Amino acid sequence: METRPQTPRQDFWAGARDTVPLLVGVVPFGLVFGALALEAGLSPLEAQGLSLFVFAGSSQFVAVDLIARGAAPVVIILTILMVNLRHGLYSASLAPTFARLPLRARAAVAWLLTDEAYAVTVTRLRAGGLAHPRRYFLGSGLALWATWQLSTAGGILFGARIPESWSLDFVLPLTFLALLIPSLIDRPSWAAALAGGVLSLVLHDLPYGLGLVLATFFAVGLGVAVETLRPRREAAG
Amino acid sequence: MSAPDVWLVILGGMAVTYGSRLSFLILPERIRFPAVFQRGLRLVAPAVLAAVLVPQVLIPSGAASATWNPRVLPAALAGLVGWRTRNAWASIATGMITLWIIQAFLS
């Protein structure tokens, strides 16, 4: 295959394109979020404000639930922090790629750093040969940002209109699965994935999404341990 | 909750979320991390992807039967197709179509 140099614009659109499967799964969540927030007593502006400023789906659902139950603001904010701590891991994981960018550009990357943009970008980075990682990331992140804002607004204006029987929410785990497969390249990555899956099930009932953070943390630790214990065999394949 | 309190939650939520996202990205490049930390970073993706997706498949929200979960087989087939073809679209389509077929039979 002929290899041509990628322009920044091509990489931007490639990032957006590679995010499309996730967008299909995100739309119903945004619609449900908008509708649910109004039901919980938020004003349309407050509902959209959560999507605009927090921009992290699962924590927004938790926040709306706690607001409806009259929890203290400081409790809700701490809960949002717990649910979103995993973004610190993404930040650390992408930092080497973006380390040479000016501060302003890194601040923009951080603003768009979601589960989805991280997963898509880290998969593409691992495949290699990406000429403009920042443009690719921005393409993915902005596609997701626009979709989340518009679907939230749609839920606020029209309610959640997609029939549940379509099960479009299932596209999300399927896409994460499709992104997971190319990351399983050796024994440590298999160990990390298996441990992550099992531990997140075991810890699922912990409050505030803590289970996800702990499962990821210990799974990474186990993967590193596997790598440390069997480095030779790994090299031999 | 009164309106100013909701905006306090929104802005506070923004601060802690953006802080998490920004944390390592704004560290100066010259700060070096221990080798163990560096090796762990490449394992974040497989760990967190599995941790996110497994409960979404096995503990779906809503009225899921405790004895039989219609999403397990579609996810397994999607994984198989993804593994063999390395094609994300083929994998996702396999999972969705399988789920729709199962739901059609169930209803």
Among A174, A190, A220, the strongest candidate for a mutation testing the B interface, having the largest count of B CBs within 10 A, is A174
Q: Is the pLDDT of residue A16 over 50?
A: yes
Please tell me the predicted confidence (pLDDT) of residue A1. 45
Please tell me the predicted confidence (pLDDT) of residue A208. 67
**Closest-CA residue to B54 (of A178, A199, A114):** A199
Give the residue carrying structure tokens 């009259």.
A70
Q: Which helix H or strand E contains A88, and what residues bound it? A: helix A86-98
Report the gap between the CA of B38 and the closest CA in chain A (Å): 9
**DSSP string covering chain B, please?**
--HHHHHHHHHHHHHHHHHHHHTTTTS-TTPPPPHHHHHHHTTHHHHHHHHHHHHHHHS-SSS--SS--TTHHHHHHHHHHHHHH--HHHHHHHHHHHHHHHHHHH-
Out of A122-126, A168-172, B16-20, which region has the weakest mean confidence (pLDDT)? A168-172
Please tell me the predicted confidence (pLDDT) of residue A223. 95
Q: Is the pLDDT of residue A179 over 80?
A: yes
Alpha helices per DSSP H over A128-181: 133-158, 171-180
Q: Within 10 A of B3 (CB to CB), how many other CB atoms are there? A: 11
CA dihedral of residues B94, B95, B101, B106 (deg, nearest 10): 170
Q: pLDDT band at residue A237, thresholds of 50, 70 and 90? A: very low
Q: Do A173 and B62 touch (CB under 8 A)?
A: no
Please tell me the predicted confidence (pLDDT) of residue A68. 86
Residues 6+ apart with CB under 8 A from B41: A92, A93, A96
The partner residue sitting opposite B92, judged by closest CB among A42, A175, A199, is: A175
Q: Is the pLDDT of residue B59 over 90?
A: no
Decide: helix, strand or coil at residue A196.
helix
Indicate yes or no: pTM above 0.90: no
Q: Do A76 and B74 touch (CB under 8 A)?
A: no
What is the percent of chain B where pLDDT is above 90? 52
pLDDT tens-place string over residues B77-86: 999 999 999 8
List CB contacts (< 8 A) between A167 and chain B.
96, 99-100, 103
Highest mean pLDDT among A57-71, A202-216, B72-86: B72-86
Q: Do A73 and B12 touch (CB under 8 A)?
A: yes
Alpha-carbon gap, residue A160 to A93, rounded angstroms:
35
Report the gap between the CA of A209 and the closest CA in chain B (Å): 11
Q: Which two tokens stand for residue A50?
A: 């959560």
Report the gap between the CA of A42 and the closest CA in chain B (Å): 8
Decide: helix, strand or coil at residue A159.
coil
Q: Is the pLDDT of residue A202 over 50?
A: yes
Q: Do A178 and B82 touch (CB under 8 A)?
A: yes
Q: Do B17 and A54 touch (CB under 8 A)?
A: yes
Please tell me the predicted confidence (pLDDT) of residue A196. 95
Alpha-carbon gap, residue A210 to A199, rounded angstroms:
11
The partner residue sitting opposite A77, judged by closest CB among B13, B43, B78, is: B13
Q: Which two tokens stand for residue B72?
A: 């397990």
Report the gap between the CA of A7 and the closest CA in chain B (Å): 24
Q: pLDDT band at residue B42, thresholds of 50, 70 and 90? A: confident
- Mean of the per-residue pLDDT values of chain A: 89
What's the rounded mean pLDDT across residues A93-121? 94
pLDDT tens-place string over residues A45-59: 999 999 999 999 888
List CB contacts (< 8 A) between A225 and chain B.
none
Given CB atoms, is B66 within the 8 Å cutoff of chain A? no
Report the gap between the CA of A82 and the closest CA in chain B (Å): 9
List CB contacts (< 8 A) between B82 and chain A.
177-178, 181
The partner residue sitting opposite A193, judged by closest CB among B5, B37, B46, is: B46
- Judge contact between A135 and A12, C-beta under 8 A: yes
What's the rounded mean pLDDT across residues A182-194? 94
Please tell me the predicted confidence (pLDDT) of residue B41. 83
Give the residue with greater pLDDT, A148 vs A25: A148
Q: pLDDT band at residue A2, thresholds of 50, 70 and 90? A: very low
Q: Secondary structure of chain A: what % helix, strand, coil (to 5)?
A: 80, 0, 20
Given CB atoms, is B83 within the 8 Å cutoff of chain A? yes
What's the rounded mean pLDDT across residues B8-32? 90
Q: Which two tokens stand for residue B26?
A: 């704004």
- Judge contact between A152 and A181, C-beta under 8 A: no
